[in-house]
Structure 1
């Protein structure tokens, strides 16, 4: 089918990834938040990617961050609409204008693009109805298909096979990049175990015959938001107080963290890698005019190897904090929390085992051999290989664990899978049009088409 007029929006809690289906260029990426900061001139509000503009957001100290999603649920369409408008009708800053894809016909009617949208797993029905209402009545899209991210993953066979790896008989990691796709009578993989670790939380989602097996879905509170809070506490306790610098600590998390390659205990006994992060300085930016974007950054930057610290700047030298934070999602029992960070004691491997125990025995080996990691937390170096080794140790010896993860771009796995889904007949058969929406109403779209109630 021609998918040139289908808009894809992966509406994440932390960032929005969006673009037109079939476009070979990288998707547009925008922060899904509004930031308020106080300056000598008054309050400053920054929308989306404006938070990275040091001329607008001069100081990140005590910045108040407001997101449309709370606990993964889209609770505020007032904020979300503002951010969508910034993304979709902003050719100057985002290089995208949805008006270019709206067709005005000779008979006076208007044809808007179709929409494929991601939605939170087990999204509350009343909140889901709000999404349908906004999509059809405010943005007037011609049709809508919305689903949790995991539902799109089985359609991206080429990327799954390209990024797959497993352990050989000598416990060496083997990449499956040279293998060819198996022939199938469907456009999707029938069995898949998707692990989605995003900003708010982590889900383990089994897919059986192309549908989510909701009874076996498991959730953990560990996510990017938790990592930022944990790292903030470690740095504030051991180095310098950054308790009011959430945006800076979040940037440190993205640029510096790595997972222990073998085990947390072995990594503690090794000589640790030291990474030096230069903290932002508002006075330094005002007193010096630089061409270097890193020096002008309002969130600091990672010092390169053998690079000298600029005079007048302050830096952090981080060691064991860099792998202690990612370890919390794998082995929370080995990491000591304080009372404010004490969450679920279930590590990711245990969570996967719980999910598998609720699946039919005959397909458990199929699920284990078709694992896909998605979400920004799997951009952390060594995370994919560490999960592979840990999971193989905890599975029966005759089961072969295979994991797919597009490292460095794991947060885009869903978007590229949505692009593949837009080319299929399944998309044409399952989307709902504006005419369907106005004929049947909100309850029908939630209970009969997109809501998880229809599958339980």
Structure 2
């Protein structure tokens, strides 16, 4: 029997707990939608991007998110959001479209199975491929600096962590260590021989949501009561916070100096009806109607939790130690070296100023002395996984080998998705402790 023709259009959706990145594989960039249903003070309900287009007052917003602790648990809400994204905003016809879906690496199998059922039985997509977003990151080779050079015939000069190639042609590596520090958690996912190595997946239960809530509590205790202002505090976090590369010194400086003399202190003008919130220069003339939020050690204390979770009582290792714990699960020492040489960071939480320098320094101190350490930081870590899905969508033969068609699903049921997308039943457990 001749194979069914591949749909001409491919729709890629990276389903993050905070934001959905969606669009046709032929698009240059995805549209980004809040993965939430919100209710404003006037009791109007806003689905996905209506939060930006129709909601005028972002104060006191109440959120309902489909994800709980990184797992897709509320399909009633998610379907309402997907309906808007797929039908109203994208305008595609599912029965004529191939669908590529990215989900969190540590997603519960039952949540993934529910997703498979919704995709085929509610939307009726022609073909479907579900994958961890980390695999889509691995697929994205648009930035050659993120990948290892081809070994054959290359002359490589290594100075510290920098690599210079002479007369070499870069190729996409089949081994990648993906660190995704996103809304719900930070997940480390090793990909070996173009396949996810599931025993190596490690999760640090700290992400953008926890950092925002921690900042919200800190501000409410020290300054204004902002416990109901999730949207505003998230804006403050993104505009004001940074990762300190000399934490003890910065903390000591904040203790010694008053806010007026502290060079690390920053003034944030809280939003009001006539103006958006923004960072204010100290030389800027103040408006008597402005409410000023002055932040000093809060700016670096909040992101510090990524590196030292015990500061707030979370009994887990920091992000650098979790990365090394993930590597320890890989049996082959040489493969561990390849993973260190091709490590990619994505997710909104890596956008803090100072993050790259801090994590590079810590990993250098934890890695073996002879290890070649290359860390990749995409220009746009939010959409990088979607870009990988879009590239996969343009490789028709490869996508055909990975996907499940609607006809196959109707004939074999959910088992066909389990066989193609599910985790392997047997995994290696032997670990070489020398690395």
Structure 1: 5+ residue stretches without partners: 103-110, 286-294
Quick one: distance in 2 between partners of 1:308 and 1:176?
Answer: 49
Which range moves more in the overlay, 115-124 or 390-399? 115-124
Partner of 2:30: 27
1:337-416 → structure 2 map (5 Å cutoff): 337=312, 342-359=313-330, 360-407=332-379, 409-416=380-387
Find out whether 1:156 has 2:154 as its counterpart.
Answer: no
Quick one: distance in 1 between partners of 2:158 and 2:296?
Answer: 32
When the two structures are superposed, what TM-score results if normalisation uses the length of structure 1? Answer: 0.82
1:192-341 → structure 2 map (5 Å cutoff): 192-260=176-244, 262-269=245-252, 272-282=263-273, 285=274, 295=275, 297=276, 300-303=277-280, 306-333=283-310, 335=311, 337=312
**Contact 1:3–1:21 (Cα < 8 Å) also in 2:** no
Partner of 1:73: 71
Quick one: distance in 1 between partners of 2:167 and 2:62?
Answer: 48
Quick one: distance in 2 between partners of 1:257 and 1:181?
Answer: 39
Partner of 1:289: none
Shift of 1:199: 0.4
Corresponding residue pairs, total: 405
Partner of 1:419: 390
C-alpha distance 3-319 of structure 1, shift in aligned 2 (>3 A): farther
C-alpha distance 23-400 of structure 1, shift in aligned 2 (>3 A): same
Quick one: distance in 2 between partners of 1:98 and 1:309?
Answer: 49
Partner of 1:98: 92
Find out whether 1:36 has 2:39 as its counterpart.
Answer: yes
**Contact 1:374–1:413 (Cα < 8 Å) also in 2:** yes
Quick one: distance in 2 between partners of 1:87 and 1:413?
Answer: 19
Structure 2: 5+ residue stretches without partners: 149-156, 254-261, 428-435
**Contact 2:7–2:126 (Cα < 8 Å) also in 1:** no
1:131-170 → structure 2 map (5 Å cutoff): 131-161=115-145, 169=159
Shift of 1:38: 3.4
Quick one: distance in 2 between partners of 1:374 and 1:60?
Answer: 29
**Contact 1:4–1:20 (Cα < 8 Å) also in 2:** no
Shift of 1:275: 2.5
C-alpha distance 439-2 of structure 1, shift in aligned 2 (>3 A): closer
When the two structures are superposed, what TM-score results if normalisation uses the length of structure 2? Answer: 0.86
Quick one: distance in 2 between partners of 1:367 and 1:121?
Answer: 17
C-alpha distance 117-168 of structure 1, shift in aligned 2 (>3 A): same
C-alpha distance 77-177 of structure 1, shift in aligned 2 (>3 A): farther
Shift of 1:162: 5.7
